[in-house]
Structure 1
Amino acid sequence: MSEQPDLAVRKVKSAVRTVELLEFLAARQDEPVRLREVSEALDMPRSSAHALLRTLVAQGWVRCDLSGTLYAIGIRALLVGTSYLDSDPYLPMITPFLDDLRNDLDETFHLGRLDGTDIVYLATRESKQYTRTASRVGRRLPAYATALGKALLAERFGGERDAHIPSALRPLTVHTVADRRALDAQLDEARVRGYACEDGENTVGLRCFAVTLRYCTPAQDAISASVPLDRLTPQREREIVDALCAMGDKVSRVVRPLANGDRWFTSSRVSGD
């Protein structure tokens, strides 16, 4: 009987290690890793890392090359990720508004959701003037380094804000605001102004603007516009910000009746505090 609690703890640790491994591989995107890298990054014995990798390869969650030495995220992770998007009740309601923004302004627009200290991109509508080689959907970036994240962090205060900002702010580019006092000042300004912005803090050469979607409390989602600096004028900036603010209010009014009864955001908010 005395061994049962220890067994339960070991099972939880095993689950945590599995999730950490999958998230580590997912963050590498198209860069496969070796066993040694996994062991060092996750502070895991090589024997344990190898056994876990081989188990996940057998289940399709991880793939490896013919030599069996390089590992990357597997196809089953894609199936789970797309099922999340397919089951989200808000996406079908919000994406038509992103379409309208892109059609009217021909810039790139995003929908992002706050998840811990990160922003996860749930939808993207690319400008026809320029395209990226890879979709941003499913990517996660530190909330403090994105306009989407700043818009949502600006809605929070004290411990609630602290829960979504890591103790050490790692610069993603030379422009990333990595000082907590400067970040808080920027967030306070965004709250007063009604929208957030960032200049090349995660992608050099782009300025991003974002507004919160207030269909639940505290807000979990935001929409943003990304514009290359080389063709952004003060007049164009005002046009984009005005359109974002108007659309954010419109989306919030449309989605709020559904979100008022949402149990998912409520449960995640309680467990995250």
Structure 2
Amino acid sequence: MPQEQHRATSRVLDLLELFSGADGTGYTLTELSQALDIPKSSLFPILHTLEQRRYVLWDKRSGQYSIGVSAYVLGASFPAQRGLVALRHVMQEVVDRCQETCQLGVLDQGSILYLEKVDSPQAIRLISRVGDRLPANATALGKALLSGLSDDEVQTLWTAGLPRLTSHTVTELPQLLTQLAQIRRTGIAFEREECAQQLACWAVPLRRQGRVFAALSVSVPLFRCTEEKEALVCRCLLEARDEAEQLAESRGFSLLE
């Protein structure tokens, strides 16, 4: 039986999560109270402590609170402790060969969470950032991750239907399950304009001890999608998969576990 969450701790985390998605926007005490449904009298001492520990900044002129440098320091410890530095070297090799953007992500409920990214040197490329989330059914990276689940496990992720990002997004569960079966056979996931217009993406699942723990993807604008480019991307991803899985086994990292 799951234990009930500690209310004060939950409020601290709710605050930090709200700030993390603010894109530089600050909040007044009143705005925070309304957004989180927490009385100002309860919220102020939490904010004061977070400000003292530099997890939150307070602007005296505007009266707004925003994310602080200590939150960055805390988050920056994740890559080194979870093996992302080593995996980034693998991703850089993919980008050097393909000249396209490479991303690393994990499955978090029905969404993918981007943990690392190496940008393409091309002027026209995918715009995204580490920490972004997208529906797993709409991305090649997500489908690669979902291929590690059973069909029953996949069905439990979406009780209200599959979300749609474009007119090409797969929103019917039987069609998604058919795609996942193919990914399990071929080892490569693919989507074309399901996540964003004029963009194609390939992805491979990464396994450790037989379980999918992450996935790597390469995104390519459609005007650069040739047969030669597709073959190169798939070859690079499969080779990167082998190298990344060897690193995971030898160093024992597991990212979100």
Q: Who is 1:223 aligned against? A: 216
Show the 5 A alignment for 1:89-104: 90-104=83-97
Q: Who is 1:62 aligned against? A: 56
Task: Report the AA paired with residue 137 of structure 1.
Answer: V
Distance 2:46 2:168 in 1: 38
Q: Secondary structure in 1 aligned to 2:201?
A: strand
1:151 corresponds, among 132, 144, 153, to 144
Are the aligned partners of 1:93 and 1:255 in contact in 2 as well (CA < 8 Å)?
no
Distance 2:64 2:57 in 1: 8
Distance 1:140 1:177 in 2: 17
Distance 1:17 1:208 in 2: 38
1:242 corresponds, among 235, 239, 253, to 235
Q: Who is 2:102 aligned against? A: 109
Task: Confirm or deny that 1:167 pairs with 2:136.
Answer: no
Task: Confirm or deny that 1:17 pairs with 2:23.
Answer: no
Q: Tell me by how many angstroms 1:223 deviates.
A: 0.9
Distance 1:159 1:152 in 2: 15
Q: CA RMSD in A?
A: 3.2
2:81 corresponds, among 84, 87, 104, to 87
Are the aligned partners of 1:120 and 1:141 in contact in 2 as well (CA < 8 Å)?
yes
Distance 1:22 1:107 in 2: 33
Are the aligned partners of 1:25 and 1:73 in contact in 2 as well (CA < 8 Å)?
yes
* 1:60-101 alpha-carbon deviations (Å, 9 max, x no partner): 22223334543332211111111111222x334322221221
Distance 2:65 2:166 in 1: 28
Distance 2:177 2:30 in 1: 39
Q: Who is 1:29 aligned against? A: 23
If each structure's helix is expressed as a fraction of its own residues, which one has the higher value? 1
Q: Tell me by how many angstroms 1:212 deviates.
A: 0.9
Distance 1:49 1:172 in 2: 36
Distance 1:114 1:158 in 2: 15
TM-score normalized by the length of structure 1 = 0.76
Q: Give the gaps of 5 or more residues in structure 2.
A: none
Q: Tell me by how many angstroms 1:180 deviates.
A: 3.9
TM-score normalized by the length of structure 2 = 0.80
Distance 1:202 1:225 in 2: 13
Distance 2:218 2:4 in 1: 45
- The change in CA–CA distance for 1:38 and 1:129 in structure 2 (over 3 A counts) is same
Comparing 150-159 with 114-123, which one deviates more in the overlay? 114-123
Distance 1:103 1:25 in 2: 35
Task: Confirm or deny that 1:196 pairs with 2:189.
Answer: yes
* 1:233-256 alpha-carbon deviations (Å, 9 max, x no partner): 233223212321232123323432
Are the aligned partners of 1:113 and 1:120 in contact in 2 as well (CA < 8 Å)?
yes
Distance 2:174 2:45 in 1: 44
- The change in CA–CA distance for 1:44 and 1:177 in structure 2 (over 3 A counts) is farther
Using CA pairs below 8 Å that are at least 6 residues apart, which structure has the higher relative contact order? 2
- The change in CA–CA distance for 1:133 and 1:28 in structure 2 (over 3 A counts) is farther
Task: Report the AA paired with residue 114 of structure 1.
Answer: L
Q: Who is 1:271 aligned against? A: none
Distance 1:120 1:31 in 2: 22
Distance 1:48 1:176 in 2: 43
Distance 2:130 2:243 in 1: 23
Q: Give the gaps of 5 or more residues in structure 1.
A: 1-7, 269-273
Comparing 189-198 with 14-23, which one deviates more in the overlay? 189-198
Q: Tell me by how many angstroms 1:133 deviates.
A: 11
Comparing 226-235 with 49-58, which one deviates more in the overlay? 49-58
